[in-house]
Structure 1
């Protein structure tokens, strides 16, 4: 059956946007626009992103793109003040803007849809525009926001941060389960997130959507010439990635270089101005956004994922594993991926442990090759886009054909 679908997503779904959510949703668009009637309403951030809109349209989707006001300093400050007087979390209020509501309302009024698919908790409040008896609704919880907010609160370095993040975490713990219950279906991206939502009372409408990896990443050949090259991938728009890069460069890398003096780490990802200062440290190269991540994966001897907080499945970890590169990561960095320490990746918690694992791999070619090949096999088995998007498509066809629609209330 051909479905008429409306996709509401916070970031322009194009890989060159440089955000993990944009990359994931770009694969959703590529798959569903070729098989169904797909309309997209999204934000863009700056003229560089606006120039990519036509490329998304060329895949067969109708696209309505609006400028995102939340990137502006004063807009964010006004939103923070406003959230002091309402019960919604800051990020929800930041993404809930009148022009987006008007655009979605207009599309729902002038077009007929079978399904409204909304990405992320931040955008979930727009579900109240879908009336009873209207199209079915689905929320993809790219990141169950309760979890990273709890981690951020627990790791807060000062009492003002603890106050702010503690309030946001408690608000999200109330808001997110209530939001999920307004949708006909909710997709979690990992077993851990699905269990967290089930515990919060959303068990009767949960499904699982696993991320995938582009097929050409599996084709990256083994590295022949060893030069102690380390790689960290990630958009530095994302605060947990900034924290991870700073922690690795200041706390882990000096310990690595004390034992492997030639070790060098490349920090690869957009919004590099947030980590540009790290390039002054010995053994650090800040590249910014690159057109072809595969080239940097190919040059890496060891990949690192030193995330200390955050949530959701890390697409960068999957890409590193798919490239058959050995990975040293924190438990946060491999969350949602069925890895086994010592078989698929090496896991570490402290700076000393992370450095020791990294040095262990730099000094042992056999261990690097074995770990990388095991990692690639795991990703090939569980994280291929075609397989996982086909499962989502079947879930949506069943949902559209079902007769039960959730009672929706205004947020």
Structure 2
């Protein structure tokens, strides 16, 4: 008899409108095609908790809890308990009760955990399969923050990195498989955990190829202006904030010296105060949220991913490549993407490189067109979700015969 799956996620895995939710959304759908799935997750607010999804009725059960614990309280709980803030922020009695009830009353033989914060809900006495999708090595991200910071925040980030690293190792030792978004992240975690390639695997992100084909989408942009350089992303996320600050203040002056009418458009939800302050400086325009990001990608002359701290695979890069736009990415933003520098995108190793590579593409539209065209061909061939998630059912213990039966 086919068992059931308990799917734990730190955010509601629909709609797929930001990087982590895109990944969790497609993982969930793949697992729903294998077996009945119970979902426990958090919503940022009541509005998100109420958002519908056309496949929600297919779930075996679903528990969505609004996460409203203040950061100061999570910080105090972390100091008192000796836990990472990443865990205390997501501690919740309702989720605990739901997990216990589902495990006690349903034939769950696999727990799939999306994001390390949710691993605390794996019951210690659960004897079924556990698959942990870390996506990125989060502890390494906090170590990077600590290395770049100073004062109290550096201390907080060092503590978080150290405690989270120990927690990640304990979780991975318990899990049957630990998944990461790229082979680079998986290799780093194997080194840190001592676990083998059989236990720590890369399962990459894909792209909704039909959606990004954008046949019925019309380009949008900064009307009547010069060439448009585009950055997309969640704009209250620290690495994205750092990226656009650096590009606006350090790179754009060099570009404007050669292309005075160039504009740098920052497109994405929830721009922080630091991001909003960039508006009007060095050709920078803070657009904020838009109805359809594809229309802005289509209109861009160059898409940039100038991240200084990045882990895993950047969806923003895959999306731009899928739409055949020329991309200039920093070294860490390009990591994990199976593409060739100079053929499918351009990798900048420094701020000076970013300025030069963008200027070169703006000066040679034909080269930019070819670069984008080759990127689109690559994404079509390698980055469908079907291709990327082909191994997921087997990792969760489902044979090809079981998957075929469930789909019938």
Same fold (TM over 0.5): yes
Q: 2:142 aligns with which of 149, 155, 165?
A: 149
Counterpart contact for 1:53–1:63, Cα < 8 Å:
no
Q: 2:178 aligns with which of 155, 170, 186?
A: 186
Q: CA RMSD in A?
A: 2.6
Q: Report the counterpart of residue 345 of structure 2 in structure 1.
A: 345
Q: Report the counterpart of residue 264 of structure 2 in structure 1.
A: 265
Structure 2 CA distance for aligned equivalents of residues 378 and 268 of structure 1: 25
Q: 5 Å matches for 1:8-407?
A: 8-15=8-15, 18-55=17-54, 57-58=56-57, 60=59, 62-70=61-69, 75-127=70-122, 129=123, 131-133=125-127, 135-156=128-149, 158-199=150-191, 200-203=193-196, 204-220=198-214, 227-274=226-273, 275-398=275-398
* 1:61–1:268 CA distance, 2 compared to 1 (3 A): farther
Counterpart contact for 1:43–1:66, Cα < 8 Å:
yes
Instruction: Write out the 4+ residue segments of structure 1 that deviate beyond 6 Å after TM superposition.
Output: none
Counterpart contact for 2:45–2:68, Cα < 8 Å:
no
TM-score (norm 1): 0.88
TM-aligned CA deviation for residue 47 of structure 1? 3.0
Structure 1 CA distance for aligned equivalents of residues 399 and 242 of structure 2: 40
Structure 2 CA distance for aligned equivalents of residues 290 and 15 of structure 1: 15
* 1:270–1:55 CA distance, 2 compared to 1 (3 A): farther
Q: Report the counterpart of residue 405 of structure 2 in structure 1.
A: none
Counterpart contact for 2:393–2:399, Cα < 8 Å:
no
Higher mean C-alpha displacement, 52-61 vs 338-347? 52-61
* 1:186–1:399 CA distance, 2 compared to 1 (3 A): farther
Instruction: State the secondary structure of the residue aligned to 1:172.
Output: helix
TM-aligned CA deviation for residue 130 of structure 1? 5.2
Instruction: State the secondary structure of the residue aligned to 2:86.
Output: helix
TM-aligned CA deviation for residue 56 of structure 1? 5.2
Q: Which ranges in structure 2 are unaligned for 5 or more consecutive residues?
A: 402-408
Structure 2 CA distance for aligned equivalents of residues 147 and 338 of structure 1: 22
Counterpart contact for 1:186–1:206, Cα < 8 Å:
yes
Higher mean C-alpha displacement, 106-115 vs 355-364? 106-115
Structure 1 CA distance for aligned equivalents of residues 271 and 175 of structure 2: 37
Structure 2 CA distance for aligned equivalents of residues 45 and 64 of structure 1: 14
TM-score (norm 2): 0.88
Cα-to-partner distance string for 1:132-186 (whole Å, 9 max, x where unaligned): 43x3111001221122122212221x23333222222222232211221111211
Q: Report the counterpart of residue 404 of structure 1 in structure 2.
A: none
Structure 2 CA distance for aligned equivalents of residues 140 and 146 of structure 1: 14
Counterpart contact for 1:115–1:400, Cα < 8 Å:
no
